[in-house]
Structure 1
Amino acid sequence: MTQNSHPIPPVSAPPVRGAVRLTDFGVMRAQGEEAAKFLHSQLTQDLALQTLQQARLAGYCSAKGRLLATLLAVKPDDQTVLMALPADVLPATLKRLSMFVLRAKCKLTDASGDWAAWGLSGDVAATWLGAAAPAQTWQVGRLATADGTDAQVTRLPDDGIGPRFLLLQPASAPAPALPEVDLADWHGLDVRAGLAWVRGATVEQFVPQMVNLELIGGVNFQKGCYPGQEVVARSQYRGTIKRRTHPFLVAEGAQPQLAQEIFHSEDPGQPAGLVAATGRSDGREVLLAEVKLAALESGSLHLGSAEGPLLTHQPLPYIVGEPQ
């Protein structure tokens, strides 16, 4: 089975449109005149040249090039960077980054009590945002709140149904006046968009290319050094990428878990991949799995064992080898 540019098949149920409080996400804050410079030296993306109108999807790697976290960074002003990331990796990420601040004029804090992350989906969300809705992926708009603090609105990769946004607003601000979306359905939209966040169960399981991070704007190969850069660059330029993340529809009744192994029918003795993200789409369980590319060419893939629930391969919304 080869990669193609076909969109993910449309769902038959009503599209997921509205807003959901991302209770599984937290927010880190870096503040100071060298905040962006410090983060630039630690993450896979260029934060030094990032403008206030741009978001950065980025990875934080170990020295071996394995992802410790993935995050979305925005700049409310020239001396502040807000980073949204899964809450279960935030404490360890904050602690590790703080170890390397040294004399840099940058203060890192957990700002989850001050800022709330919301997922917004569909044309109804774009209409509610109005002029604050960014037109392009990873662009940032501003939405005024009652206390005078601008909320940050980032356009996320689309899911094949409609536009999606990540809203960072003061925790005290009222919920968006939109229909309520279930968190599992929002995770399903991430799966459809081919976007896998590193969570507690998947820390150090992947180099960035294994979760297609460079294909969706999460790696800059022209920037300066960061932990694990040599491994990431070597994987890219030596053609050694033999594993990629792909979406799958799960057999009815099965409940996939993060970091659960998947197996190939023609090589049942060893795992062929690992579950990187789970969610729900059209009432069915879906997942993103990092998988050996050779295992997509024939046979079948199964959850948990070679006799486990069948996984039906779905096409990605982007082409492997062509960064978005």
Structure 2
Amino acid sequence: MQILSRTARSAPGRALGPFICQSCKRSLRKFSITASRPRGPPPPPPSGYARLTSRRLISISGSDAPKFLHGIITQSVVDEPITGGRQRHNAQAKITAANSTIGAPGFYTGFLNATGRVLHDVFIYRDTLGTAGTGEATGGDAFVIEVDAAQVEVLAKHIKRYKLRSKLKFRILDEEEYVAWQVWDDNAPTTTSTPQSLSSSTLQQLVQEPKDYLVLPDARAPGMGFRVLSSGRRTLSESLDLPQSDDAAYRVRRYLRGVAEGQAEIQREQALPLESNMDVSGGIDFRKGCYVGQELTIRTRHRGVVRKRILPCLLYPSDTPSPPQKLEYNPYIGEEGQQDLGSEDVPANLSIGRANAKGRSAGTWLTGVGNIGLALCRLPIMTDVELPGETAAAAPFNPQTDEFVVKWGADEEGQGGQSLKVKAFVPDWLRERLSENNDQTSAH
């Protein structure tokens, strides 16, 4: 009988790690092993920039491009004419330039299916870089769509399906042809959303080079920073006096602010735009006319009750005596060297339940890195957020004592397996915007 070494190898020089039988893996026992587990990335720097390798770009241009996009996304691209004597309410007519996406250099939005579920969350830019191949910056009838890299082919097919006889052309841009970046500076004021608000004056240089860079404020949450598009021949190190980081650091920053992105977090054809916080992130224009998926979105809005939302969560060991009260990122879970699990070990779409109690699911774990991640949480169960017009059916949430857990890997009899506790947090910016939404709904 062949005897396996403590470190199995699939090929010469390629270690798979310590060998542990499947029965032991399913148990809660901890093993002392020589090889250390990979950790999450280090904490992101307070100022920096990162190339977004998780995103891809699609160029779309033509005389019908603005009207075409206006009919299949949740934001406004063109101003809708008032017909049939219809009059807008004064409150709707007074749309400030800050809130209107008509004529804006770009905006955050989404593509929905006919039942109002999210297909793609995207940024759309008015093309000043000439990505359509004309060699000129067309802008008004040319756009660049930034989407999850894994879904770029799917979105291209979606556009082709709805194109019909529209006078437009589109193509997927090569990864090295045009590049998406994120720039941030936590030392800058968060009350403004202009490139000049960054403490580093170097970003202003990018704005002054519209043929080489396209700069767009990322207004999904305070402190997110700015999106920058550049041609593949240009790198931000040529113009930015900031440390270069990577997509993993950007991902940690998003999670700490509760900002979901991509189909691993906003699940395709399952997630609702309001549950994914697209409404409070400025991704939906509730004043515009018909678009694909509008009916359910508007009905949910006017009903005024969204019981589940994506929130930032912290994972901690199951034997921790009390839940942590602050959301802080660590590349590992628990005290260093005491926990063998990371958020990457938690399977996606895992149900979150109450610790030491049975009952309905409190939420769904989505994805994470290090000790943090995102989950779709039931607000009345996992948070102290009060929903308008509803009374609590049970005891109110107590942040000092109420705990929640994810479990996985148990056998058919429910024995063994692994578990971690989960703590959901409601960012201040989200509380404020939810309160504003409730006030607007009550006014109507």
How high is the TM-score relative to the length of structure 2? 0.61
Match of 1:153 in 2: 215
Match of 1:322 in 2: 436
Q: Does 1:168 align with 2:256?
A: no
- CA gap of 1:150–1:14, structure 2 versus 1, over 3 A, is closer
Match of 1:120 in 2: 183
Alpha-carbon separation, structure 2, partners of 1:293 and 1:43: 27
For 1:198, the aligned partner's letter is: G
Query: 3-state DSSP class of the match of 1:210?
Result: coil
- CA gap of 1:212–1:277, structure 2 versus 1, over 3 A, is farther
Alpha-carbon separation, structure 2, partners of 1:304 and 1:55: 42
Q: Does 1:310 align with 2:426?
A: no
Contact 1:261/1:272 (CA < 8 Å) preserved in 2?
no
Alpha-carbon separation, structure 1, partners of 2:365 and 2:66: 32
Per-residue deviation, residues 26-47 of structure 1 (Å, max 9, x unmatched): 0111111111210110001112
Q: Does 1:36 align with 2:66?
A: yes
Contact 2:59/2:170 (CA < 8 Å) preserved in 1?
yes
Contact 1:258/1:278 (CA < 8 Å) preserved in 2?
no
Match of 1:292 in 2: 378
Match of 1:137 in 2: none
Per-residue deviation, residues 122-165 of structure 1 (Å, max 9, x unmatched): 158751544368xxxxxxxx3527xxx231111113766x5611
Q: Does 1:189 align with 2:262?
A: no
For 2:381, the aligned partner's letter is: A
Query: 3-state DSSP class of the match of 1:39?
Result: helix
Per-residue deviation, residues 67-119 of structure 1 (Å, max 9, x unmatched): 11100111021111111121011111110121111111121211243210111
Contact 2:220/2:282 (CA < 8 Å) preserved in 1?
no
Alpha-carbon separation, structure 2, partners of 1:209 and 1:59: 11
Which of 280, 285, 292 matches 1:215?
A: 280
- CA gap of 1:156–1:111, structure 2 versus 1, over 3 A, is same
For 1:157, the aligned partner's letter is: A
Per-residue deviation, residues 216-240 of structure 1 (Å, max 9, x unmatched): 1001111111111111111111134
Q: Does 1:250 align with 2:315?
A: yes
Match of 1:5 in 2: none
1:307 offset after TM fit, Å?
A: 7.0
- Name which structure has the greater RCO, CA cutoff 8 Å, separation 6+: 1
Alpha-carbon separation, structure 2, partners of 1:73 and 1:132: 22
Query: 3-state DSSP class of the match of 2:165?
Result: coil
For 1:93, the aligned partner's letter is: L
1:257-276 map, 5 Å: 259-265=348-354, 268=358, 271-276=361-366
Moved more, 294-303 or 22-31: 294-303
Contact 2:52/2:246 (CA < 8 Å) preserved in 1?
no
For 1:272, the aligned partner's letter is: A
Contact 1:20/1:118 (CA < 8 Å) preserved in 2?
yes
1:254 offset after TM fit, Å?
A: 2.3
- CA gap of 1:43–1:259, structure 2 versus 1, over 3 A, is farther
For 1:254, the aligned partner's letter is: G
Alpha-carbon separation, structure 2, partners of 1:102 and 1:129: 44
Q: Does 1:67 align with 2:67?
A: no
Rg larger for: 2
Superposition RMSD on alpha carbons, in Å? 2.8
Identity rate of aligned residues, in percent? 22
Query: 3-state DSSP class of the match of 2:288?
Result: coil
For 2:421, the aligned partner's letter is: L
Alpha-carbon separation, structure 1, partners of 2:315 and 2:263: 20
Contact 1:212/1:244 (CA < 8 Å) preserved in 2?
yes
Query: 3-state DSSP class of the match of 1:166?
Result: strand
Is there any run of 5+ residues in structure 2 with no aligned partner, and where? 1-42, 80-100, 128-138, 189-197, 317-332, 334-340, 383-396, 409-416, 438-444
Is there any run of 5+ residues in structure 1 with no aligned partner, and where? 1-12, 134-141
For 1:63, the aligned partner's letter is: A
Query: 3-state DSSP class of the match of 1:213?
Result: coil
Alpha-carbon separation, structure 1, partners of 2:273 and 2:289: 17
Alpha-carbon separation, structure 2, partners of 1:104 and 1:65: 23
Contact 2:114/2:293 (CA < 8 Å) preserved in 1?
yes
Query: 3-state DSSP class of the match of 1:23?
Result: coil
Moved more, 33-42 or 113-122: 113-122
1:185 offset after TM fit, Å?
A: 1.9
For 1:120, the aligned partner's letter is: V
Per-residue deviation, residues 172-229 of structure 1 (Å, max 9, x unmatched): 2124343121322211111233321132572122110111110010011111111111
Which of 162, 165, 169 matches 1:100?
A: 162
Contact 2:44/2:249 (CA < 8 Å) preserved in 1?
no
Q: Does 1:180 align with 2:244?
A: yes
Alpha-carbon separation, structure 1, partners of 2:260 and 2:44: 24
Which of 37, 47, 58 matches 2:77?
A: 47
Query: 3-state DSSP class of the match of 1:56?
Result: strand
Contact 2:58/2:173 (CA < 8 Å) preserved in 1?
yes
Contact 1:34/1:106 (CA < 8 Å) preserved in 2?
yes
Alpha-carbon separation, structure 1, partners of 2:125 and 2:208: 14
- CA gap of 1:72–1:118, structure 2 versus 1, over 3 A, is same
For 1:227, the aligned partner's letter is: V
